[in-house]
């Protein structure tokens, strides 16, 4: 090939990048990164200015907890910064054992298995459970992107049902080919709406039809249920016959994902999940602080209590503004404005008043459902919540 041809081909790539970015910009869908000066907490520094933060998933305020930092730094000083290999080679540090015991203890399951992230857990576990085109996966339309990708990576047939529509799930189950293995998969608490899945009904259906239920409780773990075990505990369900996915990156203030369930399922996944087999283990610091987080969840129920109080406070504030806040116990509040541009305008308005809540647009949420997703931490103060409600009132009612 001539040099000029090669150049022209390369230019094509760069034209393509430009076209994509222009396409997104024209449709108010362009995304960019915002530099946050750590630590993150109820307030953060951005470009040297202080902002109230209402969009983090650090629900219990553990990401900057002194005990977490102590555990992480001590482990790094003692054991180094890397696992050096995947878990099935030489990367299965003893710290994993302690951490997995703590996960099983919280979730009351026989066994558990820690992954590098919640995303890695879903894209590993789902194809590991359901690998054949004869298998069927039944998945809620609002399930997290990592569940969707897990379904895509599995070779199973996937049926999507309308959000929380139990009757539709029953239809799909009763029409399935009798020979297929069926996996039902749902978020425990939906990440963008904060509502709970109808787990009791779904579990009953799973028993009735011999299907396996997988609940991704990324937002429930540490937050809901009496002991913080998550949405199964909230509904009074046991973890003996349900597969649970979770993450350390939200209420647990760290990084990593996990699977918790019966030992047979966990051992099966250990032998099949590509995101575990072909990826390096987590470093000592992360394993140690995750273990500390589970200890804090167990020993300090007052953090959950406080989060509940703040959740009640914001619920009543939003109701006074005229929003219909009809939701469960999760500290997640969708302020749905519909139009992308309007969501951006609201986000910018808050930003100018020193409050950081980015606009959530398609494809993260359906077209016409753009919103601000407000989330709370146990470290927020009632004054901070009041400031947020007042600023929203300015936007919606005082003609800003």
Catalytically annotated residues:
191, 219, 250
Nearest residue relative to ligand PLP (C-beta): 118
Please measure the distance between the N-terminal and C-terminal CA atoms of the chain and give it in whole angstroms. 60
Q: How far is the CB of 157 from ligand PLP (least distance, A)?
A: 22
Q: For tokens 């939906």, name the residue.
A: 190
Q: How far is the CB of 120 from ligand PLP (least distance, A)?
A: 7
Judged by beta carbon, residue 189 or residue 357, the one nearer ligand PLP is 189
> Long-range pairs for 12-21 at CB < 8 Å and ≥24 separation?
none
Q: What token pair was written down for 272?
A: 């099949």
Q: Strand 370-375 to strand 332-338: parallel, antiparallel, or no bridges (unpaired)? A: antiparallel
User: 356-387 in b/e burial notation, b at 16+ Cβ within 10 A?
Assistant: bbebbbeeebeeebbbbbbbbbbbbeeebbeb
Q: How far is the CB of 26 from ligand PLP (least distance, A)?
A: 29
Judged by beta carbon, residue 213 or residue 392, the one nearer ligand PLP is 213
Judged by beta carbon, residue 144 or residue 384, the one nearer ligand PLP is 144
Judged by beta carbon, residue 218 or residue 292, the one nearer ligand PLP is 218
CA distance 185 to 200: 13
Q: What token pair was written down for 214?
A: 């997988």
Judged by beta carbon, residue 247 or residue 291, the one nearer ligand PLP is 247
CA distance 49 to 398: 26
Q: How far is the CB of 121 from ligand PLP (least distance, A)?
A: 7
Q: Assign residue 34 a region (left: φ > 0; alpha: ψ between -120 and 50; beta: otherwise).
A: beta
Q: How far is the CB of 258 from ligand PLP (least distance, A)?
A: 9
Judged by beta carbon, residue 117 or residue 311, the one nearer ligand PLP is 117
- Contact positions toward ligand PLP, by CB under 6 A? 117-119, 122, 144, 146, 187, 191, 216, 218-219, 247, 249, 257
Q: What token pair was written down for 40?
A: 């993150």
CA distance 91 to 386: 47
CA distance 220 to 231: 5
Q: How far is the CB of 126 from ligand PLP (least distance, A)?
A: 11
The answer to whether residues 155 and 307 touch, using CB atoms and an 8 Å cutoff, is no
Residues 371, 372, 374: CA angle, nearest 5 degrees: 140
Nearest to residue 372, comparing CAs of 340, 396, 397? 340
Q: How far is the CB of 133 from ligand PLP (least distance, A)?
A: 25
The answer to whether residues 208 and 237 touch, using CB atoms and an 8 Å cutoff, is no
3-state secondary structure labels for all residues of 81-146: CCCCCEHHHHHCCHHHHHHHHHHHHHHCCCEEEEECCHHHHHHHHHHHHCCCCCCEEEEECCCCHH
Judged by beta carbon, residue 195 or residue 391, the one nearer ligand PLP is 195
């Amino acid at each position: 090939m001539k040099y000029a041809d090669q150049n022209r081909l390369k230019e094509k790539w760069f034209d393509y990048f430009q076209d994509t970015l222009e396409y997104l910009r024209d449709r108010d869908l362009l995304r960019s990164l915002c530099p946050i000066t750590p630590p993150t907490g109820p307030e953060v520094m951005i470009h040297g200015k202080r902002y109230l933060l209402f969009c983090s998933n650090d629900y219990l305020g553990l990401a900057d907890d002194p005990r977490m930092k102590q555990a992480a730094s001590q482990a790094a000083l003692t054991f180094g910064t890397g696992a050096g290999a995947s878990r099935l080679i030489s990367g299965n540090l003893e710290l994993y054992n302690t951490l997995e015991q703590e996960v099983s203890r919280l979730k009351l399951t026989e066994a558990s298995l820690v992954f590098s992230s919640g995303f890695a857990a879903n894209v590993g576990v789902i194809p590991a459970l359901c690998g054949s085109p004869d298998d069927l996966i039944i998945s809620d339309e609002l399930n997290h992107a990592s569940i969707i990708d897990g379904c895509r990576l599995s070779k199973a047939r996937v049926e999507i049902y309308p959000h929380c529509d139990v009757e539709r799930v029953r239809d799909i189950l009763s029409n399935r080919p009798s020979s297929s293995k069926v996996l039902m998969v749902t978020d425990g608490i939906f990440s963008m709406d904060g509502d709970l899945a109808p787990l009791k009904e779904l579990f009953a259906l799973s028993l009735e039809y011999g299907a396996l239920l997988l609940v991704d409780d990324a937002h429930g773990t540490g937050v809901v249920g009496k002991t913080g075990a998550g949405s199964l505990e909230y509904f009074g369900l046991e973890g003996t016959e349900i597969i649970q996915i979770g993450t350390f990156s939200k209420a647990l203030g760290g990084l990593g994902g996990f699977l918790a369930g019966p030992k047979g399922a966990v051992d099966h996944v250990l032998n099949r999940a590509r995101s575990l087999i072909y990826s390096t283990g987590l470093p000592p610091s992360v394993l140690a602080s995750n273990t500390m987080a589970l200890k804090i969840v167990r020993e300090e129920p007052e953090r959950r209590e406080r989060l509940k109080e703040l959740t009640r406070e914001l619920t009543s504030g939003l109701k006074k503004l005229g929003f219909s806040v009809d939701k469960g116990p999760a500290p997640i509040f969708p302020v749905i404005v519909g139009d992308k541009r309007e969501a951006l305008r609201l986000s910018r308005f808050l930003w100018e008043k020193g409050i950081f809540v980015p606009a959530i647009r398609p494809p993260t949420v359906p077209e016409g459902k753009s919103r601000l997703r407000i989330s709370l931490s146990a470290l927020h103060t009632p004054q901070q919540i009041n400031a947020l409600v007042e600023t929203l009132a300015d936007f919606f009612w005082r003609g800003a």
